[in-house]
Amino acid sequence: MSPKDLLLALVVVVAWGVNFVVIKVGLHGVPPMLLGALRFILAAVPAVFFVKRPRVPLRWLFAYGATISFGQFAFLFYAMYVGMPAGLASLVLQAQAFFTLGFAVLFLHERFRVQNLAGLAIAAAGLAVIGAGAAGGHSMTLAGFVLTLCAAVLWALGNIVTKKVGKVDLVALVVWGSLIPPLPFLALSYVTEGPARMMAALSGIGVTSILAIVYLAFVATILGYGLWGRLLSRYPASQVAPFSLLVPIVGLASAALLLGEHLSTVQIAGAALVMLGLVVNVFGGWVAQRFAAAR
């Protein structure tokens, strides 16, 4: 990977890692479902005038927007609203890698490899430790933990949709897929948060909330996915995917630095197991091949 593209990969890692802190900040002034609606309105409406619609059947475009864009962030925003710390959210959400493997076996008839099963077992143990900490009241709600796992499930389903779509302009897919979430988000906001609260949040919105929405729409969504799509188009997925392992590291570090979040001993142990499981899943096959070649 060229130095320029390596730098772009690190830009994506930082953008996505800090994204969780920005969500937490945005939720201080705007309720979760309304925040989701504003994020995707801003991401989609201006961009569709400049980005050509991807050659994707409407049903798959809808499926993408309903899973990765709406479903994932509806669960994630509400999880963080009810007590999921930003740093741990960035880590637990990476369970999507293993849900994706499971759905790929179920829907695409792919096969598990040994490193996938080993990584899944290790990461599952880590999530169980973190979940036990949530049940024990260690600075995290159990509801927030479970909802974040639900967000990971929807992200994984979106990954399967992306696989079914095949080779497509990822930026265009993200932009046009962003047209799907605003109406469901607004409907949920109306039902669960109420019109009075919606109007109060919009009329009293502060500069911090506006900046958070701009970041979520343009930096985390359009810039992040745009650069990621460029890297995937120029390099093998196996070379690009490992950079996603750095996202929870940036998420945990930025949450500690900017929000003062600190993990308990139980959470640190669980986080270490999840990261180890992710590393085994990504690099296990490569290590096994090198070991076999050296024998």
- DSSP string computed for 133-153: HHHTTSSS-HHHHHHHHHHHH
For residue 239, pLDDT beyond 70: no
pLDDT above 70 as % of the chain: 90
Q: What token pair was written down for 267?
A: 């959470």
Q: Cα–Cα distance between 27 and 41 in angstroms, integer?
A: 17
Residue 294 is predicted with a pLDDT of 62
Whether 31 and 190 have beta carbons less than 8 Å apart is answered as no
pLDDT one-digit tens code per residue, 99-141: 888 888 888 887 777 887 888 888 888 888 877 765 555 567 8
Instruction: Give the pLDDT confidence score for residue 291 in this predicted structure.
Output: 63
Cα separation, 106 vs 149, whole angstroms: 19
Structure tokens at 112: 């598990």
What sign does the dihedral 232-237-239-243 (CA atoms) show? positive
Which of 22-36, 98-112, 192-206, 234-248 comes out lowest in average pLDDT?
234-248
Could you give the CA distance from residue 225 to residue 229 in angstroms, rounded to a whole number? Answer: 6
Single-letter amino acid code for the residue at 295: R
**Hey, what are 91's tokens?**
């880590």
| pLDDT reading at 245 higher than 80 | no
- Alpha helices per DSSP H over the chain: 3-26, 32-44, 58-64, 72-81, 86-92, 96-108, 114-135, 142-165, 170-177, 182-188, 195-203, 207-214, 224-234, 237-240, 246-259, 265-294
Mean pLDDT of 284-292: 66
Assigned token pair, 160: 């399967």
Span 86-104, average pLDDT: 87
Average pLDDT of the chain is 86
Residue 91, number of CB atoms within 10 A of its CB: 27
Q: From CA 78, how far away is CA 34, in angstroms rounded? A: 11
Tell me what pLDDT residue 33 has.
Answer: 97
What pLDDT was estimated at residue 67?
A: 95
Q: How many angstroms from the chain centroid is the CA of residue 239?
A: 19
Q: For 1-54, how does the pLDDT look when each residue is reduced to its tens digit (9 = 90+)?
A: 678 888 988 898 899 999 999 999 999 999 999 999 999 999 988 777 888 888
What's residue 133's pLDDT? 64
Under DSSP, is residue 46 helix (H, G, I), strand (E, B) or coil? coil
Q: What is the pLDDT of residue 183?
A: 96
For residue 136, the model assigns a pLDDT of 52
Tokens of 140: 């995290």
pLDDT at position 135:
54
Angle of the 32-44 helix axis to the 207-214 helix axis, nearest 10: 50
pLDDT at 151 over 90: yes
Predicted pLDDT of residue 5: 82
Provide mean pLDDT across the span 89-93. Answer: 90
